Structure 1
Amino acid sequence: MMNTFTAEHTPAEIVKVFPKASDLFKKRRIDFCCGGDKPLEQVFTKGNMDATTVLTELNTAYENWEKDDNEVTDWDAIPASELIDHIVYSHHAYLNEELPALGQFVTKIFRVHGAKHPHLKDLHRLYNEFKLEMEEHMVKEESEVFPLIKEYEKNPSDKLLSHIHEVNGGLEDEHEAAGDLLKQIREITNDFEPPVDACNSYRITYARLSDMESDTFQHVHLENNVLFKSL
């Protein structure tokens, strides 16, 4: 087997080529969005991971995936305006619908099972913090930053680009804060593994939290590592 990916590659680079690598990275708690620009070599050292094991798993998965003739969108080749529309109508739309709906489940299991499972109090707090952070963040992107980027695509100028960088200054910090909240949620839910006595609502909540994490990481990856890097 030829090693397509090495320890010199960054998680962000790998996910661009091989989107399903995000599943492996999530399983091993390797950041591919907010901190995805660090070479795997640094990640392995910091996380005390066996590089050979992870790279073998990654390259084997990629080899099998390639055999299935999967088509990958080359996001780097997509105009910024099209990428923005994809982010808004796919990822933002998903969160705008899912955040309040899932919040009801988080509140329900906390109210019903919180006495027996104290970590649900922390889950309730972290989730609502994440919800507020992302709702405010998406409004800022859609009302301020994204229109500026679309205007720059049509009428580029150094002045407008400087303004975009200025307005965009805090977005990546907000991404990192949201990513940290998701990591804490994953930790206190034992990697979204419900307890053996969990009811259906409990299990549904954990499954939807896992789906939300996946979508948000892909969402942030497209913004941090593709859209913002193109400016």
Structure 2
Amino acid sequence: MHQQLTDQWRDAPTQDLIQFVLTNFHEKHRQQFPELIQLARKIESVHNDHQECPVGLADLLTEMSNELESHMMKEEQILFPMLAGGIYPSGPIAVMEEEHGEHDVMLAKLAQLTRDGKAPHGACGSWIMLYEGTQELIHDLQQHIALENEVLFREPQAVPQHGKDFCCGSCQ
């Protein structure tokens, strides 16, 4: 599924891809986290006596939200403007890719804590909504990371220019 999205955007103009990431991922994540954190706090409070209660989920989501917000701000303020200008700085890109690896670790913890989105038998509607929301977040963030790592952060290959100013190199 991630491959389909990355293939779809592979030849798109960088500015278009940046706008897609901002709209479909950055804005969406900023909406997802507060709702999920609120639901997690509710479930942890109301169902704290249930053996399958996801104790620590609200804290994990809060940590993830804080880390991701810091990451997205660096992209928005520093890296994306550079990429839009045709500059592909290896240092900042390496930092973002390293942070993506850290996000992947947190996503694995999230999946484990929510039992891969499988709410316990007889769970209330809020618990089910929470787990559905965490599954959507995991999916969205994985797509987001794949799109940036595999497409946005890769410098476009130079297209050979054919015409009167083109030199194949053999005449020099």
TM-score grouping bracket, smaller chain normalisation: 0.7 to 0.9
RMSD over aligned Cα atoms: 2.0
Work out which of the residue numbers 1, 19, 22 in structure 2 matches 1:88: 22
Instruction: Tell me how far apart the structure 2 counterparts of residues 119 and 175 of structure 1 sit (CA, whole Å).
Output: 28
Instruction: Tell me how far apart the structure 1 counterparts of residues 52 and 128 of structure 2 sit (CA, whole Å).
Output: 17
Counting aligned pairs with the same residue, the percent is 28
Structure 1 residue matching 2:105: 3-state secondary structure: helix
Work out which of the residue numbers 71, 80, 84 in structure 2 matches 1:150: 84
Q: Does residue 125 of the first structure (1) align with residue 50 of the second (2)?
A: no
Quote the offset at 1:167 in angstroms: 2.1
Find the counterpart in structure 2 of residue 43 from structure 1.
Answer: none
1:114-156 deviation line (CA, Å, top 9, x unaligned): 232465223222212111111111111101110111122xxxx
Work out which of the residue numbers 180, 190, 214 in structure 1 matches 2:139: 214
Unaligned runs of 5+ in 1: 1-13, 20-71, 153-159
Work out which of the residue numbers 175, 193, 212 in structure 1 matches 2:118: 193
Unaligned runs of 5+ in 2: 157-172
Quote the offset at 1:97 in angstroms: 1.2
Instruction: Tell me how far apart the structure 1 counterparts of residues 51 and 80 of structure 2 sit (CA, whole Å).
Output: 42
Find the counterpart in structure 1 of residue 160 from structure 2.
Answer: none
* Aligned residues between the structures: 156
Instruction: Tell me how far apart the structure 1 counterparts of residues 120 and 34 of structure 2 sit (CA, whole Å).
Output: 24
AA partner of residue 116 (structure 2): D
TM-score by length of 2: 0.82
Query: Larger relative contact order (C-alpha < 8 A, sep ≥ 6)?
Result: 2
Instruction: Tell me how far apart the structure 2 counterparts of residues 230 and 174 of structure 1 sit (CA, whole Å).
Output: 19
Q: Does residue 134 of the first structure (1) align with residue 59 of the second (2)?
A: no
The structure with the largest alpha-carbon Rg is: 2
Instruction: Tell me how far apart the structure 2 counterparts of residues 136 and 100 of structure 1 sit (CA, whole Å).
Output: 15
Runs (4 or more) in structure 1 with deviation over 4 Å come to none
Find the counterpart in structure 2 of residue 202 from structure 1.
Answer: 127
Report if the CA contact (8 A) 2:43-2:53 is conserved.
no
